[in-house]
Amino acid sequence: MTLEKDPLNLIIAGVGGQGNILASQIVATAGIKEWLYVTVSETYGASQRGGPVMSHVRFSAKAQCGPLIPEGEADIIVGLEPIEALRIIADYGNPSTRVIVSPNPIYPISVLSGQAKYPPVEEVIQKLGGLVAEVRVVKAIEEGETGLAANIVMVGALAGSGMVPIGMKNFEESLGEIMSHRDLDLNLRAFKKGVELARGKVAVPAPVKTRKRK
């Protein structure tokens, strides 16, 4: 297999507790089933919960990549949380980066306690659009839902978007290997919901004002 871009660099960004690491493991295991070299690396701070967490996932048909994506070299960003997607773009984005983002915010303690303000989500997404080639908004959590399995919805959205060269069957096999039997049905449903959402949603091509890199 050859990749259109090699290595293909994906970042999954979110907050501790959202299941970011599990999501990256599912995508990576599916990648190995496509006979690719896959490298996954997680970065997080000291807190188990509430801190920003990102996973770097790199696919190559040629060689095992290093664990870290160089600055500005993310091809795809999956944001489990809107401002976390923005945080990642600042360090790793470029004008041809493509973004899939969940619009459901996780408020930091500074916001919960009323000491800082969380920006309006529509505005964050609009600003994201000004920085990258494509933003797909995938509403992983409906009103009244708790957000369990939202990470798997986003994995489904990534699969459905066609941005990674991995077949549906390998994604589903990977889910079956990684998720416990008890939760598999729930997670397969979440995955399929994500696939539908990404396919149904026509990408909103945002106005790109910055000059595209050659």
Partner 1 sequence: MGALELDQPGKTVLMMGNEAVARGAIEAGVDFCASYPGTPATEILESLARVAERFGIYAEWSTNEIVSLETAAAASLAGLRALVSMKQPGVNVCSDFLMTVNITGINGGLVLVVADDPRAMSSINEQDSRNYARYADLPLLEPADCQEAKDMTRWAFELSEKLRLPCILRTVTRLSHSRRNVKLGDLPTKKRTAKFEGVYISRDQDLAVAQHAALHQKLEQAREEFEASQFNFYVGPRKARFVIVTCGSGWVYSREAVAALRLKGKVGILKIGTTWPLPERFIVDHLKNVTEILIVEDVDPFLEQNIKILLAEQAKTLGPIEVYGAKSGHLPAYGEMNQDKVTQALASIKGLKPRVRDEKYVEKAKELALAYIPPRMPTFCPGCPHRASMWAIKSALKLDGRDGFVAGDIGCSSIGTGLTGYFQVKTIHCMGAGIGLANGFGKLDRFAFNQPVIAVCGDSTFYHAAIPALINARVHNSNVLMVVLDNGGTAMTGFQPHPGSGLDAFGQPAPTVEIENICGGIGVEFKVRDPFEISQAIEDLYDMLQDSGPRVMIFRRRCFLIEAKEKLQKKYYVDQSKCIGDDCGCARFCSRVFNCPGIIWDQEAQKAKIDEVVCTGCGVCATLCPEGAILVRGAAP
| Contact residues: partner 1, CB under 8 A | 15, 25, 28-29, 32, 37-52, 63-68, 70-72, 83, 86-87, 89-90, 93-95, 107-119, 123-124, 127, 130-131, 146-147, 210-211, 213
Q: Specify the residue, 90 or 202, whose C-beta has the smaller distance to partner 1.
A: 90
204 DSSP 8-state letter: B
Q: Specify the residue, 39 or 161, whose C-beta has the smaller distance to partner 1.
A: 39
Q: Specify the residue, 68 or 168, whose C-beta has the smaller distance to partner 1.
A: 68
Distance of closest approach, residue 69 Cβ to partner 1, in angstroms = 9
Q: Specify the residue, 45 or 205, whose C-beta has the smaller distance to partner 1.
A: 45
Distance of closest approach, residue 36 Cβ to partner 1, in angstroms = 8
Distance of closest approach, residue 87 Cβ to partner 1, in angstroms = 5
CB-based contacts of 56: which residues, under 8 Å, 6+ apart? Answer: 9, 10, 11, 39, 40, 41, 42, 43, 67, 68, 69
Distance of closest approach, residue 55 Cβ to partner 1, in angstroms = 9
Q: At what angle do helices 181-200 and 168-178 cross, to 10 degrees?
A: 150
Residue 9, helix vs strand vs coil: strand
Structure tokens at 189: 């449903």
| Category of 35 on φ-ψ map: left (φ > 0), alpha (ψ -120 to 50) or beta | left
